[in-house]
A and B are shown apart, each in its own frame.
Chain A
Amino acid sequence: MTTLTLSKAINEGLRKALEDDPKVVVMGEDVGKLGGVFRVTDGLQKDFGESRVVDTPLAESGIVGTAIGLALRGYRPVCEIQFDGFVFPAFDQIVSQLAKMRMRSQGRAAVPVTIRIPFGGGIGAVEHHSESPEALFAHIAGLRVVACSGPADAYTMIQQSIRCEDPVIFFEPKRRYWDKADVDTTAGLDGALPLEVARTVAEGTDVTVLAYGPMVRTCVEAAVAAREDGRSLDVIDLRSLSPLDLAAIAASVRRTGRCVVVHEAPVTGGLGAELAARITEQCFYQLEAPVLRVGGFSTPYPPSRLEEHYLPDLDRVLDAVDRTFAY
């Protein structure tokens, strides 16, 4: 076991992928010499060379579009989009090309491209640097969407994403980049939890709390605090946002009868809405209360001096837990 930050864990995962498969190419803005603005790709260009760790021109559509072409030629590109709010110039290539190539080709052309996106707020950044656009991608058939929450998962999930034959949008919780945990970098992927499977991170019996990415830590902390109030939270780290591990989610909600979904993204039209609908369909007779959602308001992401009001925190999670008992 090695203690790694989440940022370093992804770095090690990328390094492993580059070592294991000569077709893996890391590409993006500033990923080479600089090592990425969050240093996630630090040292990779030095060790693997400029043709495998590519500093690209500053154009996101070009990054994803050329990655598709490289994939059609047999490569496995891993693109970095520098910040969540910068992915939109590439949205057309992701939605209209990357997601649809397999069906367009009737399964003949695979485009195993991984797109890494640091997402979420909490770092005091300027506009476009704190967004959570995951629901926009989860809505698109043909894409897999995942979010890691801690170093150990980050290390394996990035490798699994790169190996995946489907395009994967890989969300990294940027404010957790410096969180540390033990990571077994000697373990292979064979025994790892499959990419599309959720993980229970705190066991409980009273309320199911669904979270992913940066909110997992918040919800685990909420579970500790709730215990003092005599409430037991079953916290599930979804990990995969598309497809959703509905079997694991429904199994938990059937036991607890209550569910709170937590994400930084605006509640309106967010993943919580999809989860609430699925849970209602599958667990209607076990539900003691409506599925409640805790998330960003229906506003653009506010200036950073206000972000503590916008972002769900431990107290807002507990408030929602309290409200599920009011029914």
Chain B
Amino acid sequence: MAVDAGGAVTAPGSGSLDGQPDSRAELIQLLTPEGERADHPGYPLDLTTDEVKGLYRDLVIVRRIDTEAIALQRQGELGIWASLLGQEAAQVGSGRALSPRDMAFPTYREHGVAWCRGLDPVKLLELFRGVSHGGWDPADHNFHLYTIVIGAQTLHATGYAMGIQRDGLVGENGEAAIVYFGDGATSQGDVNEAFIWASVFNAPIVFFCQNNQWAISEPLERQSRIPLYQRASGFGFPGLRVDGNDVFACLAVTRKAMQAARDGQGPTLIEAYTYRMGAHTTTDDPTRYRLASELEAWKLKDPLERVKAYLVRTGSADAAFFEEVDAEAAQVGRHIRQACLQMPDPAPLSMFDNVYSEPTALLREERDAYAAYLDSFVTEEVAR
């Protein structure tokens, strides 16, 4: 086993972003849990104070969106919510590494990436409230719709990346796709097929796996005997593990992998090593399958606290800044709460829309018949 300058442990014969051996630890980290900056030769990162503050702002707002959505679910306003608590750095770091022309393919938990892409978080709620299956136009922010079937979107992203190749947009001024999935998804056939397709066609794609250690109740050990990032070597492209709670490292590693993809160097698998601090969704009860001590250990690695500590330690931000960010996050919270409460149910007959490009005769017939059926009740009420 070799370790490259990018910090990636790779099996013999596999590539790396730099292709040079090194003896670094396998977890790429640029900011320690205590908020101390760590350097890494493979991933130099020069951020201005404003940029660091911007990342902190993202992290706080994204957590606030999540908290507000959980509250809305508890109050009966959402049917379900998939919390990203603990995964903010992985999502903000990778999300901020994308260029506007890159295309992101999310699971149903990528609320932080959505935020970075510029999507109004209210749009995310439509799916969880049951108002629509997808509330936004993927082309508006180059952020595809949430996909619920585990791993299915990895093939869509790979095909999309093959489209980028066919458009001649690999190389100078290139574009790339990034696809998000979790540790559980790595067991899916589709994810493995996506690895194969991306590899043999050298597609411009980054596979961003948030290993949050749990697939509902099943621990990582039920998905893999080896670290997930090492899977990449079997498929013939670089894999690396990044501290998923370190927004700096997630940003730097994703930037580099995306650039490699845009340049025509093909796919990279990034394993963002993180932890799902909350339940799988609001219907889940993690106390049935995992220990509180595990949660406590991960609390010490909180992705927000370490950036805050860094800003304080370096004297880059004062109390006023943190208050300002908290106030802005509260405002976002109020915004989504208000919009959620005001979100109308769709009109019943809208379910017949968008099944096909044009409604079929059968759909028109069913729609008209159901409309008449509904009208019959209205008429009765009026008659009374």
- A residues near B (Cβ < 8 Å) are 25, 51, 56-57, 59, 61-62, 64-75, 77, 89, 92-93, 96-97, 100-110, 141-142, 144, 164-166, 196, 243-244, 246-247
Contacts and interface: CB of A to CB of B under 8 A. Distances in A.
B357 A165 contact: yes
A182 B137 CA distance: 46
Contacts of B158: 65-66, 69
B215 interface: no
B343 to A, nearest CB: 14
Interface residues of B, number: 41
24 contacts: A56-B197, A62-B155, A65-B194, A68-B159, A69-B157, A70-B166, A72-B163, A75-B166, A77-B159, A92-B149, A92-B190, A96-B152, A97-B149, A103-B133, A103-B355, A105-B134, A105-B137, A105-B138, A106-B134, A106-B135, A108-B138, A109-B138, A166-B357, A246-B362
B190 A100 contact: no
Nearest to A278: B362
A69 B134 contact: no
Contact of A102 (B132, B139, B357): B357
B149 to A, nearest CB: 5
Contact of B132 (A59, A106, A244): A106
Given A70-B159, A72-B160, A243-B362, A107 B354 contact: yes
B162 A102 contact: no
Contacts of B163: 69-70, 72-75
B252 interface: no
A93 B134 contact: no
Given A61-B193, A74-B163, A69 B156 contact: yes
Contact of B189 (A66, A89, A104): A89
Given A73-B160, A109-B138, 4 more contacts: A57-B200, A70-B166, A73-B159, A93-B152
Contact of A104 (B145, B154, B155, B160): B145
B362 A69 contact: no
B125 interface: no
Interface string B225-269: 000000000000000000000000000000000000000000000
A165 B358 CA distance: 9
Given A59-B193, A89-B189, A97-B149, A244 B162 contact: no
Contacts of A142: 355-356
A57 B152 contact: no
Nearest to A69: B159
Contacts of A244: 362
A66 B105 CA distance: 13
Contacts of A164: 357
Interface string B117-153: 0000000000000001111011100001101010010
B72 interface: no
B46 interface: no
A66 B159 contact: yes
A100 B133 contact: yes
Contacts of A93: 152, 155, 190
Contacts of B135: 106
A211 B354 CA distance: 29
B201 to A, nearest CB: 8
B145 A109 contact: yes
B353 interface: yes
Nearest to B152: A97
Given A93-B155, A105-B138, A141 B160 contact: no
B103 to A, nearest CB: 8
Contacts of B166: 25, 51, 70, 73, 75
B161 interface: yes
B325 interface: no
B361 interface: yes
A243 B364 CA distance: 12
Contacts of A109: 137-138, 145
A61 B189 contact: yes
Nearest to A99: B355
A90 to B, nearest CB: 10
B370 to A, nearest CB: 15
B167 interface: yes
B167 A65 contact: no
B190 A61 contact: yes
Contacts of A61: 155, 189-190, 193
Contacts of A100: 133
A269 B196 CA distance: 37
Given A72-B138, A105-B145, A108-B139, A166 B356 contact: yes
B353 A72 contact: no
Given A93-B152, A106-B134, A69 B160 contact: yes
A69 B155 contact: yes
Given A57-B200, A69-B160, A142-B355, A96 B149 contact: yes
